Structure 1
Amino acid sequence: MGGICSRKRDQQVVEDGLRRGVSGRYSRCASTKWLGAASRSMSNHGAGRGSCPSLMELCIYKIREDIHKYSSFSILPRDISQQIFTELVDSHRLTDVYLEAFRDCALQDVCLGDYPGVHDGWMDVISSQGSSLLSVDLSGSHVTDNGLRFLKDCSNLQALSLDYCDQFSDHGLKSISGLSSLTSLSIRKSSKITADGMRALSNLVNLEKLNLERCSGVHGGFLHLKGLRRLESLNVGCCKCVVDSDMKAISGLTNLKELQISNSCITDLGITYLRALQKLTALDLEGCNITAQCLESISALATLQCLNLNRCGLSDDGFEKLSGLKCLKRLCLAFNNITDACLVHLKGLTNLEYLNLDSCKIDDEGLANLTGLILLKGLELSDTEVGSKGLCCLSGLNKLENLNLSFTFVTDSGLKKLSGLTSLKSLNLDARQITDAGLANLTSLSGLLKLDLFGARISDSGTAYLRHFKNLRSLEICGGGLTDAGVKNIKDIVSLTQLNLSQNGNLTDKTLELLSGLTALRSLNVSNSRITNEGLQYLKPLKNLLTLSLESCKVTASEIKKLQLTDLPNLVSFRPE
């Protein structure tokens, strides 16, 4: 939900724009499973409302505030020091000085993905956790080969993430080659890792998951993986250096279940080597230069459950060969030259739960082939020639939870045919031809959690229908001509966590006042409006707000920063910045 809300129809997702280095906490200690919840509740104490915090939460919060008074937490039980560490990271208060207090604390999880200022100087303290350390995330840090050598004594380390770290090289990999307990290793987008450096991975015999996405120098190094018999997941997506011979090198990894080779230089020949991977359940070939010939090789993978063929330039030829993949649950065919004729071959894939036909050349007639896919939960029809007539073919898909009809020819009247899809949780209707009347036809879908009306001609009076969606968590009405009067009908949808009202140029500070009661909001976008610095005061109750976008408004970054420091402790991203 960007500031100007622009939509580009034929555009690949740029992974760099996403939050990087975020990993789940990895711990064998059951008492740490509630760390996240504890941290969130502690950050709300300043509001003076809500449920009473536990004594432990109050203690952790007090220690965080007085962190400068303590020089060591090593005498505390590990669970307590772990909670203190996590709280300091979450609140962005961990510094070089405060880190020293955690030396020899036997921490299990050091999750510093994208944390600012992490460098080699931190590694001595991190490594002091010794055999207790199970998980380390240093994604986006400035750690070098010198820093990685400190990890060699952390013999029980099971998960290591070094995504987007561009300061270490093959020598750094050699430093961690002795960590034989590693089950998960991620080093995405590291241009300094070469085929020779991958030799160090041959010792990681317990590795189950390896992520080398966007590593541009790994061609030829896959022969060093042949001994990793436990490897189940391999990601070499967006590695233009990867070619057919690399697929031959990994064909002996017969325990592989997930393989991502998207946007590589693999051809039909490379796909033939994958026939040996008879346990493969997920295969991602998006953007690869393949033809209909490779579909025969893919058809031999009888256990396949997820197949991504987006942007492969395929036509209708050869898809009859996939009709035998009875285990298939997810199939992505977006941005290919397929027509209604291709959909005929999908009729037998009755276990499908997700189907992506974005930007394919299909229309209402083709949708008739989907009526038997009664297990479908997700269906992407964006940028197709589907219109209102074809929606009757979807009326029997009563398990459908996510439906994307953006940039189609569907009109208000066609939306009546969706009234029986009571399982729908997410509906995308980005289209100029949808108006208030169309919204009125959706009022039976009370279970909707997400509604996207980007570009729809929704007026102030039309927002009255939104009151029927009591469970709505995400709402987007961009450029719909709303005024403050229309926002009055949104202010009572207290379940909302994401709200995008950008490009409604008549919204004023009154809108922020009306939204001040939506305390569950985590993301708010009111860009391209008439909001001013004076209106920011109304955002103070929104303690859960993580992202705020007020681009092209009469708002300054300095005033938002003041608000962040005094009243919005969880705000991590804002525009203007």
Structure 2
Amino acid sequence: MGGACSRKRDQQVNEDSVQRGIPGIYSKSRSSKWMGPLLPRSSVDIQLGRVKCPSLMELCIHRTCEDIDNYSTFSMLPRDISQQIFNELVYYNRLTDVTLESFRDCAIQDICLGEYLEAKDSWMDAISSQGSSLLSVDLSGSDVTDSGLVLLKDCTNLQALTFNYCGQISDHGLQHISGLSNLTSLSFKKNSAITAQGMSSFAGLVNLVNLDLERCSGIHGGLIHLKGLLKLESLNIRCCKCITDADMKPLSGLTNLKELQISCRKVTDCGVAYLKGLHKLVLLNMEGCPVTAACLDSISALVALSYLNLNRCSLSDAGCEKFTALENLKVLNLGFNNITDKCLVNMKGLTNLESLNLDSCKIGDEGLVNLAGLPHLRSLELSDTEVGSAGLRHLSGLVNLESINLSFTMVTDSGLRKLSGLTSLKSLNLDARQITDTGIAALTNLTGLTHLDLFGAHITDFGTNCLRYFKNLRSLEICGGGLTDAGVRNIKDMTSLTLLNLSQNCRLSDKTLEFISGLTTLVSLNVSNSCITNAGLPHLKPLKNLRSLTLESCKVTACEIKKLQFTALPNLVSVRPE
């Protein structure tokens, strides 16, 4: 979270955004890969002050990697040893054209080079030399082309291929993997060069279980080639803008499908009708599809369904009575729909429900009474609804509730008292300007909280006194409040914190950095829009685990932050300002 004091409240569907429970878009950059030589293998052990004693094998492998330039081949070593040496070199970003040659004909089983930007076609000869031993290859984000893919055609025992974000692989390359009938998993995320014609190469992959074509924009009409893949259990065609209702028809015969992600703006109620025979379907993600509650006529036949995502669709109350048939639902996302309290009446019988998302729906206090009988509910999203303090009394019996989001609601300090009995709560979002120190004082018995978001709440130094009760907090956000250095003093002993956001507290000074210098488990720190100066930066030197530091609109210079990064904070990879 940056330095801005407000958040987007009605964001439209962004097909390149990160959706809950679904991987986000890959960024073809160094990402975290270049951190390899610097990051500890077990941050948990380091945070707890433990140092794991390496085994003799680990020491030998580490020494071999240090002297890698002295070896021309590892083909005489046992396969598992060669694999471990290879993995170590990848982890520490030391694999090169030369070192890769050392692994030619080593019978390695797994080549995982996802995000390894150096990987290219010239590497494929050594990779394919593993022959029938090779079981999985991940070259996501690489510059491998059709020419490189061709070399894998003789690795007949391959079970998993992942070429996400490899834009230079086209239909021509797919022809050469059509004979790899042992493949069970195949992924080509975000590839505009793959077309319906190219998908004909998938028709012979009869053992395929998982297929991921997310953001492949040219595959309209190609799903017909999947009709014979009767072992297919998971299909991801999220954000393929070309997919229409007609593309749903070939899926009707894939009766072993357990997971289906569509999320396409051209799939309507008519397309969903083709899915009603998929009785083994456990997960159905249709976020952003222009379906109405009428689609529930078909979805209600999916009796095994436990995860249903209808966020940002066109649902209204009419037709929502069909939800009552989905008794096995555990996760239900209905955010950003035009539903009201009338829809919630149909939730009363969903007693297996563990997670319910009603973000930005027209839900009020009266509707929450229908949630009182959901004993297994663990996560509840009520952000941007019309819920107020009165409605929270209906939630007081949800003793298993672990996460609740009340941001941008009408809840006040008095309402928070009704949450005091929810001792299982671990995450609480109170991004609302009506919340003050008094409200925080009402929550002091929620000692199991690990995440507390008070972004935008009116919290002062006095309110931070109450934070000493939350000894397990790992994430704390107090932004836009009235904190001074004195308030931060009350935070300095919260040694479990990994994320701390104090942005928009304009009176914080360098003294604040001195107070938090003992929070050595911090991974992310934001003190934007404050009076922090270059003089305070040395106080951050003990924070060796820090990976993200945001000091926008402070009296600091990028030069001094970079100096701190290179001299004292080796794990710091995200810095603002740069």
Question: Which TM-score applies when normalising by structure 2?
Answer: 0.90
Match of 2:336 in 1: 335
Match of 2:366 in 1: 365
Gaps of 5+ in 1: 23-35
Letter in 2 for 1:231: L
Range moving further from structure 2, 542-551 or 473-482: 542-551
Judged with a 3 Å threshold, the aligned counterparts in structure 2 of structure 1 residues 86 and 473 are, in CA distance, closer, same or farther, namely farther
Letter in 2 for 1:441: A
Match of 1:266 in 2: 267
How many angstroms apart in 2 are the aligned matches of 1:87 and 1:110? 12
Match of 2:444 in 1: 443
Judged with a 3 Å threshold, the aligned counterparts in structure 2 of structure 1 residues 271 and 505 are, in CA distance, closer, same or farther, namely same
Match of 1:33 in 2: none
Q: How far does residue 60 in structure 1 lie from its aligned partner after superposition?
A: 4.6
Range moving further from structure 2, 271-280 or 556-565: 556-565
Match of 2:2 in 1: 2
Match of 2:414 in 1: 413
How many angstroms apart in 2 are the aligned matches of 1:407 and 1:276? 40
Letter in 2 for 1:509: D
Q: What SS does structure 2 have at the residue aligned with 1:124?
A: helix
Letter in 2 for 1:344: V
1:415-454 CA distance string (max 9 Å, x none): 1110111111111110111111111111111111111111
Match of 1:544 in 2: 545
Q: How far does residue 44 in structure 1 lie from its aligned partner after superposition?
A: 11
Alignment of 1:131-280 (within 5 A): 131-280=132-281
How many angstroms apart in 1 are the aligned matches of 2:368 and 2:101? 62
How many angstroms apart in 1 are the aligned matches of 2:24 and 2:292? 34
How many angstroms apart in 2 are the aligned matches of 1:375 and 1:44? 30
Letter in 2 for 1:156: N
Judged with a 3 Å threshold, the aligned counterparts in structure 2 of structure 1 residues 141 and 532 are, in CA distance, closer, same or farther, namely farther
Aligned pair count reads 562
1:67-91 CA distance string (max 9 Å, x none): 4454444444444443443344334
Match of 1:478 in 2: 479
Letter in 1 for 2:7: R
Match of 2:108 in 1: 107
Match of 1:391 in 2: 392
1:450-487 CA distance string (max 9 Å, x none): 11111111112211211111111111122223233222
Match of 1:376 in 2: 377
1:317 paired with 2:329, answer: no
Alignment of 1:287-326 (within 5 A): 287-326=288-327
Letter in 2 for 1:453: L
Q: How far does residue 66 in structure 1 lie from its aligned partner after superposition?
A: 4.8
Judged with a 3 Å threshold, the aligned counterparts in structure 2 of structure 1 residues 227 and 420 are, in CA distance, closer, same or farther, namely same
Identity value in percent: 68
Match of 1:488 in 2: 489
Contact 2:5 2:456 in 1 (8 A): no
Judged with a 3 Å threshold, the aligned counterparts in structure 2 of structure 1 residues 161 and 482 are, in CA distance, closer, same or farther, namely farther
Match of 1:32 in 2: none
Judged with a 3 Å threshold, the aligned counterparts in structure 2 of structure 1 residues 422 and 560 are, in CA distance, closer, same or farther, namely same
Q: How far does residue 21 in structure 1 lie from its aligned partner after superposition?
A: 5.6
Q: How far does residue 334 in structure 1 lie from its aligned partner after superposition?
A: 0.7
Alignment of 1:516-531 (within 5 A): 516-531=517-532
Q: How far does residue 566 in structure 1 lie from its aligned partner after superposition?
A: 4.3
How many angstroms apart in 2 are the aligned matches of 1:275 and 1:123? 43
Match of 1:54 in 2: 54
1:210-260 CA distance string (max 9 Å, x none): 111111111111111111111011111111211111111111101001111
Letter in 2 for 1:273: Y
Letter in 2 for 1:355: L
Judged with a 3 Å threshold, the aligned counterparts in structure 2 of structure 1 residues 294 and 81 are, in CA distance, closer, same or farther, namely same
Range moving further from structure 2, 329-338 or 69-78: 69-78
How many angstroms apart in 2 are the aligned matches of 1:46 and 1:286? 40
Contact 1:403 1:428 in 2 (8 A): yes
Range moving further from structure 2, 516-525 or 320-329: 516-525
Judged with a 3 Å threshold, the aligned counterparts in structure 2 of structure 1 residues 81 and 469 are, in CA distance, closer, same or farther, namely farther
Letter in 1 for 2:453: D
Contact 1:432 1:457 in 2 (8 A): yes
1:540-562 CA distance string (max 9 Å, x none): 33333333333333444454444
Q: How far does residue 13 in structure 1 lie from its aligned partner after superposition?
A: 5.4
Judged with a 3 Å threshold, the aligned counterparts in structure 2 of structure 1 residues 160 and 82 are, in CA distance, closer, same or farther, namely same
| Superposition RMSD in Å | 2.7
Q: What SS does structure 1 have at the residue aligned with 2:276?
A: helix
Contact 2:236 2:260 in 1 (8 A): yes
1:78-117 CA distance string (max 9 Å, x none): 4444344334433444444443344334333333222333
How many angstroms apart in 2 are the aligned matches of 1:460 and 1:178? 67
Alignment of 1:422-461 (within 5 A): 422-461=423-462
Range moving further from structure 2, 374-383 or 549-558: 549-558
How many angstroms apart in 2 are the aligned matches of 1:532 and 1:468? 31
How many angstroms apart in 1 are the aligned matches of 2:544 and 2:324? 51
How many angstroms apart in 2 are the aligned matches of 1:470 and 1:299? 44
Letter in 2 for 1:284: N
Contact 1:471 1:495 in 2 (8 A): yes
Range moving further from structure 2, 105-114 or 288-297: 105-114
Range moving further from structure 2, 149-158 or 9-18: 9-18
Range moving further from structure 2, 232-241 or 460-469: 460-469
Match of 1:349 in 2: 350
Q: How far does residue 193 in structure 1 lie from its aligned partner after superposition?
A: 0.5
Q: How far does residue 573 in structure 1 lie from its aligned partner after superposition?
A: 3.0
Range moving further from structure 2, 560-569 or 121-130: 560-569
Q: What SS does structure 1 have at the residue aligned with 2:521?
A: coil
Judged with a 3 Å threshold, the aligned counterparts in structure 2 of structure 1 residues 457 and 443 are, in CA distance, closer, same or farther, namely same
Q: What SS does structure 1 have at the residue aligned with 2:463?
A: helix
Q: What SS does structure 2 have at the residue aligned with 1:513?
A: helix
Q: What SS does structure 2 have at the residue aligned with 1:451?
A: strand
